[in-house]
Amino acid sequence: NLQQTLKVITVQKGLIDTNITAIRDDLRGIQRGDISGMISSAKSMVRNANDITNEVLDGLGPIQDGLGPIQTDVTRIKDTYGSTQREDFNKALTDADNSVKKLTNKLPDILSKIESINQQLLPLGNISDNVDRIRELIQQARDAANKVAIPMRFNGKSGVEVRVPNDLEDLKGYTSLSLFLQRPDSREYGRTENMFVMYLGNKDASKDYIGMAVIDGKLSCVYNLGEQESELQVDQSVTKSETQEAVMDRVKFQRIYQFASLNYTKKATSIKPGTSQFHEMDGGSSHTLLNLDPENVVFYVGGYPPDFRLPARLRFPPYKGCIELDDLNENVLSLYNFKQTFNLNTTEVEPCRRRKEESDRNYFEGTGYARVPTQPNAPIPTFGQVIQTTMDRGLLFFAENKDRFISLDIEDGKLLVRYKLNSEPPKEKEVTQVVNNGKDHSIQIIIGKTQKLMRINVDLVGSLIHGDIFDFSTYYLGGIPISIRERFNISTPAFRGCMKNLKKTTGVVRLNDTVGVTKKCSEDWKLVRSASFSRGGQLRFTNVDLPLPNEFQASFGFQTFQPSGMLLNLQAQTRSLQISLEEGHIELNTRDSSRPIFKTPQTYTDGSLHYVSVISDHSGLRLLIDDQTLKSNQRLQDLSGSQYPLYLGGSHFEGCISNVFIRRQSESPAVLDLTNKTFKRDVSLGGCSLNPPPFLLLLRGSTRLNKSHTFNINQPLQDTPVASPRRMEIWREAQSCLPPPGAQASHGTLRFGDRPTSHLLFTIPQELVTNRSRFAVDVQTASSRGLVFFTGTQQSYMALYLSKGRLVFVLGADGKKLKLKSKEKCNDRQWHTVVFGQDGEKGHLVVDGLRVREGSLPGNSTVSLRAPIYLGSSPSGKPKSLPQNSFVGCLRNFQLDQKPLDTPSLSVGVSPCLGGSLEKGIYFSQEGGHVVLANSVLLGPEFKLVFSIRPRSLTGILIHVGSRPGRHLCVYLEAGKVTASVDSEAGGILASVTPKRSLCDGRWHSVTVTIKQHILHLELDAENSYTAGRLPFPPADTREPLHIGGVPAGLKTLKLPVWESFFGCLKNIQVNHVPIPVTEALDIQGTVSLSGCPH
C-alpha cells in the first residue's frame, strides 16, 4: 500500500541523494536551461519523492540541450559522407566521433542512475508525468546515436559493446538481426581467416546466446537455447574489398523459437549484388526461448573485453574489417549506440566508406514523432504525404494552438479526423476506407481560411470539415510529445510505417527534428507479430496445413490479467486442438479428450509475457510454459492431411498475443504475420495495449504482484476434473458466427438508466466484503447525476454517484460522512476507470489512475459494510442524501479486490451497451441471459410457434415452453442444427433440421414449430422441414411460462440437451397466431436488450 511504499522511499532517499550529487558533478560547468518546471502540487505523503524527481529533471536540462549538436553532427555526416575529399570526410567523421563520445561516454552512468531512480519512483502515480519526460529524453539521446549509420572499422584489437534494446522479452521467442560485413584485402592485414564477429547473450557464456564468427574465411552462426548449441556455416567466403570503396555482404539472421534461418547476400552493397542464399537450422525441441538476463546481458561486436570468456565456437581473435549493424527486431540499430568501446579510435583507423542508395522514404518506428515548422498565417496552408502501413492504429498528423487541435489518425485501419475548432467538445469524422493494407496512400490536407473549411483528400477522395481553422507554426507527423498527449488526452499510439513525398505550404519537407524516425524502410517493416485483443476479440487464419503428429508444434506468447479465455484453437470438423486459460491455469484440450491433456499447476494472469509451446515428436507430447516442460504419455491425434482454420483469442480472453508459430507441412519455419488474417473482431494489430486492473495503481510494490510464476518441472501432473461447464462453453464458442459488419455490441458492457430503477444485485459472501475492500469499474456516461454503486445500510454505507458531472465517493457511518470528489468532470461520453474503497477509517478515490484522493471519516469512525452490492439504483435502504435513481450510461469490468464480478444475482432494467443504429428485436449478448413470460402459453396437442432468429452463435436455447417434467417443448440450436424437442408423460420426440447454408449469414431466418394431431413438425425458412412421429399429448389444462433465449438454472433438471443461452437476435414471436408482447416480460435475467438489435 502507499504507506509501505512511502517507508521504502524514505529509506532510499539518502541513497538517491548521493546519486543526484554524482549526476550534478558530471554536469557541473555546463550551464544550460531547465527542461521542465516544478511538479504541480503533490500529496504530503510523496513530497520527498517529488523533490527528488525535480532535482533529476533539473539536472537533465543540459542533456536535452546537448542533443542538438549531436543531431547536427549526424546531419553533417550525411551531407559529407559522399564527398571524395579525404580531408573533409575525416574532419566530419572526427567531429561526429567526438560528439558521439560525449553522448556515450558521459551519459551511461547518468542514464543508468536516472533509470534506477525511475524504478524506485514508479509506485507513485502522481509523478508519472515526470518519469515519462525522463524516458523521452533518454529516447532522444539513443535515437541520435542510432542515426549514425556508418560502417565501423575494426583492426583486430578493437570492439564495442552495443546498447541492448529494453524489450528483451520480445527477443525470447523471435530474433531478427541484420548486419553488413566486409573483410580487408589481404594486402592490408595479411591472411586472417578466423575472427570473432558478434555475441548477444549473457555474461556467463555457458547460458543462452546468439553469436557469429568467421571460420576459414566463411561466416558461421551459432546459437544456444538452454544447453544445446546449434551451428550453421555459410558456404561462401566473406567478401574482401578495399576500405575506401568497401563492398559488403549482408547477413540476416532470423529465429522463431528453436528454429533459425540465415539469409546471406554476397556483395549486397555493390551495383550488382549476388543472389541471396538461404540456410536453415533446428536447435532441437527441449528449449525454445532465448532467455537473456537484463542485469547480465551484453552485446559485443567486433571485439570483446579481455576478461570475457567466449563460447568455444566463437573463441577467436577480434575482427579485422568493417561491420555495420542494420536492425534488430525491425528497429534500426547503430554501432554508435554503444555503452563502451575497446581500443577503438576512428581517427587512427578510418571507417569504411560504402555505396548507399538514397531512400526517399522515412520509417516511423512507432515510438516517436517528427516536428515540422511551417509558415503561419498562410492563406491556403497545404500539407501532404504518402503513407504505407499495416497497423490498425496510429497518429499521422497533429496540429494545435492553445485548447484547439486537429488530429488525423488511423483507427481500426481506417482514417479518422478528430478536431476541436471552438469551445464545443471535440468531434470526429471518418474520412476514408482502409489504409493499412501496406500499399501507398496519398493524403493531402488543404485549409481554406476564408472559406472556413478544411479538405482532406485520400487517394483523390475528399472529405470536408467546416469551421474556423486556427493558425499554427508547427505540426507533428507520426506522433506527438508526451506533454501534448497529456494536455489533449490523446491515446492513439504513434504511427508505425513509411512516409514519403512529404510536402507543406512552402515546399518539400525535410525531417530534421525527429525521434524514432530513420531515413529508410527495412524489408521487414510490414511484418506484424503482435496484437491486442479486447474482451472476446478474435483473429482467424485459413488453410493452415499441419505436419504429421511427430512433427507438430504450435507456439505463441501472451499477456493478460484475465483468468479465463481461449488462446489458440486449431479446428476441423472432427479434430481439433485448443489451448485456453481456465481460472488462470493453462489447459490443452483436444476434441476427443474428456478432460484436459495438460493443466498447469501455476497461473499466468500477472500481465507479464509468457510463452507457450505444444510440441509432439517421437519422444511424446509436451507442453512448455516459459521453457518449463510438462510431459504426457498421450499421443497427439493426427491433424495432418487437411486445411485447418486457426483461431487466436475468442471467448472471454482479453490481452495480447504475439510471436505465433505453427509448424506447417509446406513452408519453412517462420513467425506468423498477423496481417494475413481472414477475419478480425475486436483486435488491434501491432503492439500490445494491455490494460492492467485499476488496483495495480494502489498495490504496486506488493510482493504478491511481483512474485515469479514458476513451477517444478519434476512435479507430477495433478489430477484434473472432467470437462467443466466453463471449458464446455469455450468449446461451443469456437463455433461462433462471424459478426456482421458494423456490429458494435461490446462484450461485458452493460447499459443502466433506461428505467430509473435499473440495477444489478450481487450477493457476495460477507467475509469477502471487509473494511479494506477495493472496488473498480469502468464508467461511460453523459449523465450529470445518478447513482452508480451502493452497498450497506442507511447508517453504514459506501456509495459512488455522479453529481454535476463529477464522480463522488462517499463513506457514511453513525451520521458522519467522508466525501471525495473527482477533480475533472466525467460525463464526456468517454470511458473512465474508477477505483474506490476503504482502508479502515480511510477512503480513497482514483479516476483514470492519475490522482489519488484520500481522506478519513471524522472521529476515526469505521464503515461496517453489509452485502449485497448494487450497481445502478438500489431499491431501498439508502440515505436520502444520495441520488435515488440510477445514472444513465454504461459500465464494464466491475471488480472486487482484483477479481471480476460478472455474475449478478439479479438484473433489473439492465441491457447490453450497444452502439450504432438498432432494429426491432431482442438482443441476447454473449454473456448470456433470458426473458421469462409467466403463464402466457397453452401447450397442448394443437400448438403452433413461429419466430425469427439471426444468430451469432450456433449453439443455444431459442425458446422453451413449460416448467414441469412431462410437459414442455424446447427449440434450440446445436452446432448449427435447429431442433425441436417435445416431452410428454408418454415419452419424448424430437425433430431436427440441418440448414443447406450456414445460419451465420447475417440474415433473419424463420422457425416454425407445429404440433397437430399429435405429430411434431419443424420448418426452417420454408425450405427445410422435418416431421417426427406421433406422440400422445394431453390436453392443455394450464398456461405455461415461456422462456426466450435460455432457461433459469432450476429448469436444467429437466435434462435439456442444450443448456447454453442463445447469442444473437430474435423477433416476431407468435403462439397460435397471436403475437407475444415481450415488453410485458415478467423477468429479464442476464444481459438482454428489449429495445432492439444492432444491424
pLDDT, one tens digit per residue, over 278-295 is 998 887 778 999 999 888
Stretch 446-474: mean pLDDT: 90
Residues listed for the chain: 1095
Stretch 1031-1047: mean pLDDT: 78
Residue predicted with more confidence, 1034 or 746:
1034
Q: Is 50 exceeded by the pLDDT of residue 107?
A: no
CA distance 179 to 264: 10
Residue predicted with more confidence, 897 or 75:
897
CA distance 115 to 131: 9
Task: State the DSSP string of 308-335.
Answer: ----GGG--PPPEEEEEEEEETTEE--T
Stretch 179-200: mean pLDDT: 81
CA distance 391 to 526: 9
| pLDDT for 121 | 42
| pLDDT for 62 | 47
CA 703, distance to chain mean position in Å, is 25
Phi, psi dihedrals of residue 646, rounded to the nearest 5°? -110, 130
pLDDT tens readout for residues 50-66:
454 455 445 444 444 44
Stretch 626-653: mean pLDDT: 81
Mean of pLDDT over the chain: 79
Q: Residue 125 — very low, low, confident or very high, per pLDDT cuts 50/70/90?
A: very low
Residue predicted with more confidence, 765 or 188:
765
Q: Is 80 exceeded by the pLDDT of residue 359?
A: no
| pLDDT for 783 | 87
pTM (global) more than 0.75: no
| pLDDT for 63 | 46
Q: Is 80 exceeded by the pLDDT of residue 556?
A: yes
Q: Residue 354 — very low, low, confident or very high, per pLDDT cuts 50/70/90?
A: confident
Helix (H) or strand (E) segment spanning residue 12: helix 2-27
Cβ-based neighbour number of residue 383 at 10 Å: 22
CA distance 223 to 231: 7
Phi, psi dihedrals of residue 524, rounded to the nearest 5°? -100, 5
Burial of 186 by CB count in 10 Å (0-12 exposed, 13-18 middle, 19+ buried)? exposed
CA distance 201 to 205: 7
Stretch 374-378: mean pLDDT: 86
Residues paired with 323 in a beta bridge: 152, 181
Residue predicted with more confidence, 708 or 615:
615
Q: Is 50 exceeded by the pLDDT of residue 45?
A: no
Q: What percent of the chain has pLDDT over 90?
A: 29
| pLDDT for 24 | 55
Q: Is 50 exceeded by the pLDDT of residue 977?
A: yes
Task: State the DSSP string of 902-916.
Answer: ---SEEES-EE---S
pLDDT tens readout for residues 476-524:
999 998 889 888 888 899 999 999 999 998 889 988 888 888 887 877 7
Which domains are delineated in the chain?
A: 2-146 (no CATH), 152-342 (2.60.120.200), 361-518 (2.60.120.200), 530-733 (2.60.120.200), 755-906 (2.60.120.200), 918-1094 (2.60.120.200)
pLDDT tens readout for residues 759-794:
888 888 777 777 778 899 999 998 889 999 998 888
| pLDDT for 516 | 85
Q: Is the peptide bond before 721 cis (omega within 30 degrees of 0)?
A: no
Q: Is 90 exceeded by the pLDDT of residue 860?
A: no
| pLDDT for 36 | 36
pLDDT tens readout for residues 562-609:
888 999 998 765 677 899 999 889 999 887 776 888 999 899 988 899
Stretch 99-128: mean pLDDT: 46
Calculate ∠ Cα 882-883-885, nearest 5°: 140
Q: Which residues of 47-79 are buried (b: 16+ CB within 10 A; e: fewer)?
A: ebbbebbbbbbbbbbbbbebbeebbebbebbbe
| pLDDT for 446 | 94
Q: Residue 721 — very low, low, confident or very high, per pLDDT cuts 50/70/90?
A: very low
| pLDDT for 43 | 42
Q: Residue 37 — very low, low, confident or very high, per pLDDT cuts 50/70/90?
A: very low
Q: Residue 169 carries which side chain, given as an amino acid letter?
A: E
| pLDDT for 134 | 59
